[in-house]
Structure 1
Amino acid sequence: MTDTFKTFESFDGQRLAWREMGEGRPVVLIHGYFSDAQTNWIKYGTAEKLVAAGFRVIMPDLRAHGDSARPHDPAAYPSDALAQDAEALIAHLGLTDYDLGGYSLGARTTVRVLARGIAPKPRRVVLSGLGDEGVTDTGRRTGFFRSVLTGFGSFVRGDREFMSQAFLKTTGGDPEALLGILDTFVDTPPEAVAMLDVPVLIVAGAEDDEVGSFIGLAEMLPDARFVEVPGNHMSAVTRPELGDAIVTFLTA
């Protein structure tokens, strides 16, 4: 099944890309850091499962990722830039009745869209690969990612940065542009998370210990359920169980 590739102009004029598959109820899915729509949602079959269930799957490439603009100017990375990009895409497509979700950084971006309250509120929300610390303490892992990006190419097997470096090589990422993304992060305090009154699925790998507690995040939210799938933070997104859980939640 092929996807349609399109671009739009975001809030600050940056040209960003998105991919679409299927027809039906819109669901916007945002990929994780160092990844892209193709790798996160299409390659391992999640998008195809949603299409089969009757969804129009809309998958942006975040700025500095995939086929979207990769500016090196620090001015292109203001606070909450990724949430503003998502809001711009939702407005560009005229979405009002839709579902929204993401993986890791994409899930955090989803939380920021909800907390900002600018875009129309989605019917249901999927937060995959995101725990409580990934929402409330976004700076906790920025040092690690800064190390990966500034030392890109120098890490060898056994270094803690090696797997992230290897993944970035497979996606063809631009280390300088991706450094700018770190400056866009905004914490969402627990009291703001508690105000997000939409049904939420939290789905994550059983061995994922990189983004805090998934149950802790579920307990912050007024209407959330947690589903565990096999894998760790990097491998859970490749598992068919992830797509199955998302489809089950969105079609219930």
Structure 2
Amino acid sequence: MTEIRTETHPGFDGQPVAVHRMGAGRPVLLLHGLFSEANTNWIKFGHAAKLVDAGFEAIMPDFRAHGASAKPHDPAAYPPDVLVRDTFALVEELGLDDYDLVGFSLGSRTAARSVIAGLEPRRLVLSGMGLEGLAGWNRRSAFFLDAIARFDEVKHGDPAFMAVAFMKTQKVDRVAAKLLLESVGDTDPADLEKIAMPTLVLCGAQDRDNGDPVKLTEALPDAIHVEIPGTHMGSVTESMLGDELVRFLTA
């Protein structure tokens, strides 16, 4: 397996952000999903390795409040769109100018909002994402905030059971996670027109957790929709996810 190099870089406010890197080719910045981290989304199931084999360098931060990055409990560390601010800081810190940007779920939301705010990757991948997950985030956020609030009382059969089970597996810092969730902004559908670069909307066949990927594809100026097997979380384990990333980014 290609060596994984882990570095620490400052977030927008100096908070330490862990960044995992593989390969030495064209940079592709990969942003993971909520309650996850770089290893679970990109490394564990071989997606980063496929990108490396195709000639890319996979650059995979752990978001603040996740993985090996800082998990501050000070509300001041979570201003609006803090993950977008951290993404801009990382792009500047690493000197990225000709690169691709890939997100999954919360990572897709962050990637889309970063492009709307001015980032200019060559190509963009929004995986695990539909239109309502961007332009309707407040409803999705409320689901997770409720799961955190009822963490100790959620039982099997509760709609929040899988989210709570995943938080337990990931040993999520619930104080930091709550503050982070409250910082994520909703997206005006009209702003999607600013995402002008070629974009891949990549979603599991049984995944509608973040809304309709076809509607998202139609709302973007230059996008294609590709379906792979799996539910929202299941699609991350599918080898086709890595295959489709390589296919799109090498086209």
Task: Name the TM tier (shorter chain).
Answer: over 0.9
1:83, 1:109 within 8 Å by CA — same for their partners in 2? yes
Equivalent residue number for residue 63 of structure 1 = 64
Equivalent residue number for residue 192 of structure 1 = 191
Shift of 1:164: 1.1
- List aligned pairs for 1:142-221, cutoff 5 A: 142-221=141-220
Equivalent residue number for residue 93 of structure 1 = 94
- List aligned pairs for 1:13-24, cutoff 5 A: 13-24=14-25
Shift of 1:231: 0.7
Question: 1:249 corresponds to which letter in structure 2?
Answer: F
Q: CA RMSD in A?
A: 1.0
- Answer yes or no: is 1:129 the counterpart of 2:128: yes
State the alpha-carbon separation in 1 of the partners of residues 233 and 43 from structure 2.
Answer: 16
- Answer yes or no: is 1:231 the counterpart of 2:218: no
Shift of 1:151: 2.1
SS at match of 2:138: coil
2:214, 2:225 within 8 Å by CA — same for their partners in 1? yes
Shift of 1:227: 0.4
Equivalent residue number for residue 39 of structure 1 = 40
SS at match of 2:208: coil
Query: How big is each residue's C-alpha offset from its partner over 1:118-161, in whole Å with a ceiling of 9 and x where there is no partner?
Result: x3x11000000011011111101122101211222432221111
Number of aligned residues: 250
State the alpha-carbon separation in 2 of the partners of residues 49 and 171 from structure 1.
Answer: 25
State the alpha-carbon separation in 2 of the partners of residues 82 and 11 from structure 1.
Answer: 9
State the alpha-carbon separation in 2 of the partners of residues 183 and 122 from structure 1.
Answer: 27
Query: How big is each residue's C-alpha offset from its partner over 1:139-198, in whole Å with a ceiling of 9 and x where there is no partner?
Result: 011221012112224322211111111111222211111001112111221221012110
State the alpha-carbon separation in 2 of the partners of residues 51 and 128 from structure 1.
Answer: 19
1:26, 1:97 within 8 Å by CA — same for their partners in 2? yes
State the alpha-carbon separation in 2 of the partners of residues 236 and 208 from structure 1.
Answer: 8
SS at match of 2:194: coil
State the alpha-carbon separation in 1 of the partners of residues 29 and 38 from structure 2.
Answer: 11
State the alpha-carbon separation in 2 of the partners of residues 214 and 101 from structure 1.
Answer: 15
Shift of 1:4: 0.8
What TM-score comes out, normalization by structure 1 length? 0.97
- Answer yes or no: is 1:50 the counterpart of 2:51: yes
1:70, 1:177 within 8 Å by CA — same for their partners in 2? yes
Moved over 4 A (4+): none
> Percent of aligned positions with the same letter in both sequences?
51
Which segments of 5 or more consecutive residues in structure 1 lack a partner in the other structure?
none
SS at match of 2:139: coil
State the alpha-carbon separation in 1 of the partners of residues 131 and 194 from structure 2.
Answer: 15
Query: How big is each residue's C-alpha offset from its partner over 1:56-114, in whole Å with a ceiling of 9 and x where there is no partner?
Result: 00000001000000011111111110011011011000000000011000000000110
State the alpha-carbon separation in 2 of the partners of residues 188 and 147 from structure 1.
Answer: 21
Which segments of 5 or more consecutive residues in structure 2 lack a partner in the other structure?
none
Is the deviation greater in 28-37 or in 70-79? 70-79
